[in-house]
Structure 1
């Protein structure tokens, strides 16, 4: 039995939560995957997995062995890459998840430059505004906007999202223009809610040290950035967009900025990836490419005073 291959298969079974998905990810017959794990258990004289007809779960011994396997496989990968050209020419499948708006307005238009630089990477880009479980769904890294919750992910801050409040001219002609955040309480606003928690995001404003945070009822709430933008264009109410959305979608000529003497706290953009995974060459170059992309963008780059240098942290 190839011990390293068996370790790789075992790790994939644990990550995927079953033999079938692990076999698909590894492009191996399911019987081969099962045989390798069984051989590993026989060699170690330890039961690594609980198997039922419905699911596979890791035992206490299996969980401890899983962590050791991750470290061993990471060390082996490091040794291989240090003696090869893979760092200069990364290859293979790379699974990434990113918000719908950032994907459409920034990442996808810039992908020709990425593939010109890294032609041997096969990118699978999932575009949605929901927060996914990277390990459960087999995703290598994700681009996320907003504050990060507690998790076991490594995060690198790469940019900032700045917000503007605006509305369609047809709406303002009918209902008037707000001059103060509290005026929004008598207006029709379009709320945005979290796909994960269902929580409606508040409307917050700051001016000259005064901070106002409002929870507004709204006639409609959406959780997709494309639909949210279209609702604003349709005159359904006042919306809060990022300035990059307003610029990239042609909103400057179709939407009117309001409350311009008030500011909303910017939201950070991070690239996140599991801390118990080896940061492969293809993930590393993608993270650097996204960071460079943000740094070159007038609406997304980090402000030197707020963040002197990108850094990695556990969140």
Structure 2
């Protein structure tokens, strides 16, 4: 093998890369996309670590993290992937019985299902864009859950109205189990980002995975488009 061939072989993505992500992102997006990455790069094995706790990439030897919100830590290189869209949803049965709210102020008359952060124990506020301004609503919920998937399941069973990420709600919407409501007031507060330590960028497998994330998060996001189309249909 010539020196050029040897250099090319060494540059091929190979080995194990450790990826950290929140549980919902890992389950609904990265887990489903991983076979495509493995097919393109058969010599790379992915160690996918999911959870809601903060992961110190350097201390725990993580190559790439996918996080929701402001990357914050300047020690890492960050790449914006997509909007993390959160919309309000309810089941058709609940809306038939209780009516469909057309404005956030009407939520006071409805059963609300709220999310509690496991890391802090705090309930998430509900952000709405009203009159061009961000307004935060803190409901008196009938049900509080600390797992995003469980919220979608509860809403589909008729528990009330709640917020869900579009990538979690999209399958329920497609099956007719959830309906987006008040989408005109949805406020896109956060983005999804990929982060990695600068020292990891020399690893061809890391470069390959970061590049692959562009395919995983196309613009527009397919789950956003699906939910938006159902929102438009229900409004019409």
- Distance in 2 of aligned mates of 1:119 and 1:300: 28
- Distance in 1 of aligned mates of 2:175 and 2:84: 17
2:233 aligned residue: none
Q: Secondary structure at the match of 1:253?
A: coil
Asked if 1:238 is matched to 2:161, the reply is: yes
Q: TM-score, normalised by structure 1?
A: 0.62
2:141 to 204, 215, 218: 218
Asked if 1:176 is matched to 2:69, the reply is: no
Structure of higher CA gyration radius: 1
- Distance in 1 of aligned mates of 2:175 and 2:200: 42
Deviations 1:195-221 (CA, angstroms, capped at 9, x unpaired): 322332211111442432112231332
Greater relative contact order structure (CA < 8 Å, 6+ sep): 2
- Distance in 1 of aligned mates of 2:76 and 2:106: 40
- Distance in 2 of aligned mates of 1:250 and 1:262: 19
* 5+ long unaligned stretches in structure 2: 1-5, 225-236
2:78 to 140, 143, 155: 155
The answer on whether the counterparts of 1:205 and 1:212 sit within 8 Å (CA) in structure 2 is yes
2:33 aligned residue: 110
* Aligned CA-pair RMSD: 2.5
- Distance in 2 of aligned mates of 1:137 and 1:177: 47
State the 1:269 CA deviation.
0.8
Bigger proportion of residues as strand: 2
Within-5 A mapping of 1:59-208: 83-87=7-11, 89-150=12-73, 152-208=75-131
Deviations 1:113-144 (CA, angstroms, capped at 9, x unpaired): 21121111111112333332223333221111
Q: TM-score, normalised by structure 2?
A: 0.80
Aligned length: 219
2:231 aligned residue: none
Asked if 1:298 is matched to 2:221, the reply is: yes
- Distance in 1 of aligned mates of 2:34 and 2:220: 15
1:16 aligned residue: none
Deviations 1:97-124 (CA, angstroms, capped at 9, x unpaired): 1223322332222222211211111111
Deviations 1:44-92 (CA, angstroms, capped at 9, x unpaired): xxxxxxxxxxxxxxxxxxxxxxxxxxxxxxxxxxxxxx944333x2111
* 5+ long unaligned stretches in structure 1: 1-81, 302-315
